[in-house]
Every structure is written in C-alpha cells, then in structure tokens.
C-alpha cells in the first residue's frame, strides 16, 4: 500500500500525466495573452501541490476546530503578515477559494437579500459578480448597473456622472468598483465620495489590477474602500485563489464569519501556503520591475495595433489590458479568437461597449500582457506580437490560400519566439 506514496504521477497514471505534459507543451508554445492569466513561479506550484492539501483546518490560526494545525497555522500567519505589508492594510481574510466567493462573502457580511447594489455592467467591461443578471449578485439583490460613456471626449471611459446619478436615485447599500476588461486607471477617490454622499459601503474588486498595485504602478484602493477583494493569480502571478482586505476591524469580524462558517468549510491550506509564497515574491524589488514591464508591453501592443489601423477601446491602456474593437475591420470576436488560437496566440473574445453583437460572438478581443511578460517578453517582442496579430486578423479579409500562408508563417514565428523564453524546465 505504501508504494503509492513513492510513485510519481508519470508512473502511477500515464493517462492524466499525458494531459499535464500536453498542457505544459501548449503553454510553452503558445503566446498567452488572456488578460486574467499568468505563469507563476515553480515555488508557487510546489507549495500548491504539497502535503498541506491533506489538512483540515476549519477556523482561523490559533482557533481551529481540528488538532494538528500547528504548521498550517504558521503558513496562514506568514501569508497574512505578508499580504498586509504588500497592500498596506490592517486586516485580511485569505480563506476564500476564488474571487467570486470572496465577493459573495462580502455580500453575506454586509447585505441582506434584496438590498440594492450598484456595480459596473458586464457589457461595459465589468465583472459577472458585480450584479449581472445570471449571477447570484443579480438574482438575490436589486442590482443597478453603471457603464461607460457612449461618445464624446470621454468615450469608453467610466461614466462617473451616471454612477453619481444612479447612486442618488437608488440609494444602494453597496457600490462596487473594479472591472474585468477596463484598461484605464479607476478613480477610487471619486467612488469614495459618491459612496459617502449616499452612505453606501464602497467595495473595490481589484482582481485584475492587484499585481500592478503590489508593484506600485496602479493606485491602491485600500485607503478609499471599506473592503477590497481580489484574486491572487492574475497580474499578481500567484496561487489560484483570492483574498479580502480591509482597514476596519468591525468589518473584518463580519467578513471572517461570512467566509467561515457562513459560506465555506475547510480552507485550502496548500493554497494558503502558495499564497504566502506569492506575497513573498510580490514584496521583492523585482516585482516592481515586472509590473512596469507588464504596462510598457501593453502600451507597445496597443500602439502597434493602432498603427496597423485597429481601434483600441478607450484609445490605449494604463494597465495590462488591451481591449480591441474589431468593428472598423468588419470582423467579429469569435472568428478572430479562433484564428489567433490556430496560430498559437491565446486571447478571448470580449464585448466592446454598446456592442451590437451578442456575447457569444462579440465585436472585440481582450488581450493582456502579464503571462508573456512573466516569461520574459519585452517591448520589442510585443511590437512583433502586435504585428503578428494584425497580419492574422487582416488575413481574414483575404482569399483562403493567402490566409493559410500567412497563418502558417505566423505560427512558425510564434513557436520561434516562445522558444526564446522556456518555462518550467525542471518542473515535470
């Protein structure tokens, strides 16, 4: 029986092992431009795939409902200490399994069913869990949604006048700031003022921007928000998980009860260990340079695409996101995503503001630079990547044989570029 403890995955289950090998190969040979993805360190993978997965630890450090928690307590304490330093906050809960669950915990802590919430609409680049109709946030609460300006000098930018007017009209108990596709700096201070005017909680979901905030390249919302939530695996480049931060002691008590026992049972202590590693890495000076590089690469990608005749939603980027409008080229997001995937460039179709096409088709694409930046791509590489994207998308308007030739050549270039930046040499 003890044999199973000493057999590697390769020897014990070749079928599953083969899927891991193939996924590693895909990650090695594709340019990953999905804005919410990243390539964490081997140390993060080691911690996440560790013996701490064996441990039940319901409760919080020093107050568990199980024996044998001495070392998982230490891992959680290290993670808490590091995250508070990283984001300059007083209190944190690190037990939510995902960003969606972190947001649910905040709702459970601060709202009653049918309360009014005000969040950014999915159609304007917001997130599903901020009040979209198919999500629990849109079903259990009276969700009012704000968006971005349709035209004028501020086209595509958050319509703060609308946020204010909707807040005054609906008197929400909670205002949610944060987004999934919005590439610009969000004015947390303005959201704070609007929230104060109507006596609402301000919750910031910084999931997309948290790595840039940790690297001091994007404003930290903690001094303005009552509560901040985030995933830990996007720009932050860590374990696949989430966190909740606040400076308010009364709120953290409510949040802790909402996470456990309100929503969850045992926390994932292997993920906790991996989060401790994540925050440790993000506290290092190199992380500042990584964050700067992520943004510099996104700016080059955006400029290259503009020079090739594409329109970028909001006209550019202040972050890791480049949001492409395909309407001037008469293309749709679904076809563009598929063709780029065929040449080895992974991205996702994404609705643009006021999109005439349905969500499964869309008129846009969302690109992000964190994963490729983590493996070493620089601004010169992103200039090349921008031109490859433009070549492939423009080829959709050509004869099939010409398109095939361009796609074959581009795929070779993609594999060549990726081979300059290998990942996880020794991992498997």
Task: State the nearest-atom distance from the C-beta of 422 to ligand DSN, in Å.
Answer: 26
Choice from 36, 256, 384, 411 touching ligand DSN (CB under 6 A): 36
Active-site residue, selected from the candidate residues 76, 156, 159, 205: 205
Active-site residue, selected from the candidate residues 55, 149, 173, 234: 234
Is the CB of 45 or the CB of 346 nearer to ligand DSN?
346
Please give the residues from 99 up to 138 whose contact with ligand DSN meets the rule CB under 6 A. Answer: 99
Q: Which phi and psi angles does 75 have, rounded to 5°?
A: -60, -45
Is the CB of 36 or the CB of 291 nearer to ligand DSN?
36
Q: Which phi and psi angles does 326 have, rounded to 5°?
A: -90, -5
For residues 166 and 198, the answer to whether their CB atoms sit within 8 Å is no
Is the CB of 101 or the CB of 180 nearer to ligand DSN?
180
Q: Does 241 participate in binding ligand DSN (rule CB under 6 A)?
A: no
Task: Give the list of residues 6+ apart from residue 359 with CB closer than 8 angstroms, or none.
Answer: 351
Active-site residue, selected from the candidate residues 58, 77, 115, 164: 58
Q: Which helix (H) or strand (E) holds 149?
A: none
Please give the residues from 74 up to 103 whose contact with ligand DSN meets the rule CB under 6 A. Answer: 99
Does the annotation mark 205 as catalytic? Answer: yes
Please tell me the count of residues contacting ligand DSN according to CB under 6 A.
3
Does the annotation mark 360 as catalytic? Answer: no
Q: Does 180 participate in binding ligand DSN (rule CB under 6 A)?
A: yes
Q: Which helix (H) or strand (E) holds 37?
A: none
CA-angle at 173, arms to 169 and 176, nearest 5°: 90
- Whose tokens are 């081979």? That residue is 419
Does the annotation mark 341 as catalytic? Answer: no
Q: Among 135, 159, 136, which Cα is nearest to 146's?
A: 159
Q: Which helix (H) or strand (E) holds 231?
A: strand 227-231
Q: What's the half-sphere exposure (Cβ side, CA atoms, 13 Å) at 160?
A: 12
Q: Among 191, 184, 256, which Cα is nearest to 226's?
A: 191
Active-site residue, selected from the candidate residues 64, 149, 184, 240: 240
Is the CB of 69 or the CB of 186 nearer to ligand DSN?
186
- Residue window 344-383: x/- pattern of binding to ligand DSN, with contact defined by CB under 6 A: ----------------------------------------
Is the CB of 75 or the CB of 122 nearer to ligand DSN?
122
The residue at minimum Cβ distance from ligand DSN is: 36
Q: Which phi and psi angles does 37 have, rounded to 5°?
A: -105, 165
Does the annotation mark 216 as catalytic? Answer: no
For residues 367 and 312, the answer to whether their CB atoms sit within 8 Å is no
Does the annotation mark 231 as catalytic? Answer: yes
Q: Which residues are catalytic?
A: 56, 58, 205, 231, 234, 240
Binding site for ligand DSN (CB under 6 A): 36, 99, 180
């Amino acid at each position: 029986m003890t044999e199973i403890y000493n057999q590697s995955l390769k020897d014990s289950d070749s079928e599953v092992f083969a899927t891991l090998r193939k996924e590693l190969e895909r990650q090695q040979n594709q340019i990953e431009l999905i804005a919410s993805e990243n390539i964490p360190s081997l140390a993060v993978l080691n911690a996440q795939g560790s013996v701490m997965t064996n441990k039940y630890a319901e409760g919080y450090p020093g107050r568990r409902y199980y024996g044998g928690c001495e070392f998982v307590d230490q891992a959680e304490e290290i993670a808490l200490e590091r995250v508070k330093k990283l984001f300059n906050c007083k209190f944190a809960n690190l037990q939510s399994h995902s960003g969606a669950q972190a947001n649910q915990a905040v709702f459970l802590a601060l709202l009653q069913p049918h309360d009014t919430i005000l969040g950014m609409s999915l159609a304007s680049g917001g997130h599903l869990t901020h009040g979209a109709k198919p999500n629990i946030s849109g079903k259990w609460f009276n969700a009012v949604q704000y968006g971005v300006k349709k035209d004028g000098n501020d086209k595509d930018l958050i319509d703060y006048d609308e946020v204010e007017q909707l807040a005054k009209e609906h008197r929400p108990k909670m205002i949610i700031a944060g987004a999934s596709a919005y590439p610009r700096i969000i004015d947390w201070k303005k959201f704070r003022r609007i929230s104060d005017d109507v006596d609402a909680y301000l919750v910031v979901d910084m999931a997309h921007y948290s790595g840039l905030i940790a690297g001091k390249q994007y404003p930290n919302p903690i001094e303005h928000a009552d509560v901040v939530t985030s995933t830990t695996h996007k720009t932050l480049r860590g374990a696949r998980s989430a966190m909740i931060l606040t400076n308010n002691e009364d709120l953290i008590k409510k949040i802790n009860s909402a996470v456990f026992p309100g929503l969850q049972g045992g926390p994932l202590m292997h993920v906790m260990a991996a989060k401790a590693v994540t925050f440790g890495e993000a506290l290092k000076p190199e992380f500042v340079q990584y964050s700067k590089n992520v943004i510099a690469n996104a700016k080059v990608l955006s400029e290259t695409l503009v020079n090739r005749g594409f329109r970028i939603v909001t006209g550019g980027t202040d972050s890791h996101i480049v949001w492409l409008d395909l309407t001037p080229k008469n293309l749709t997001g679904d076809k563009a995503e598929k063709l780029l995937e065929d040449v080895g460039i992974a991205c996702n179709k994404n609705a643009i503001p006021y999109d005439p096409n349905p969500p499964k088709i869309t008129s846009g694409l969302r690109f992000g630079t964190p994963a490729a930046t983590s493996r070493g791509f620089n601004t010169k590489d992103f200039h090349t990547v921008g031109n490859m994207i433009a070549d492939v998308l423009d080829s959709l308007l050509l004869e099939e044989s010409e398109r095939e030739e361009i796609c074959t050549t581009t795929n070779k270039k993609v594999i060549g570029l990726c081979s300059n930046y290998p990942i996880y040499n020794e991992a498997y």
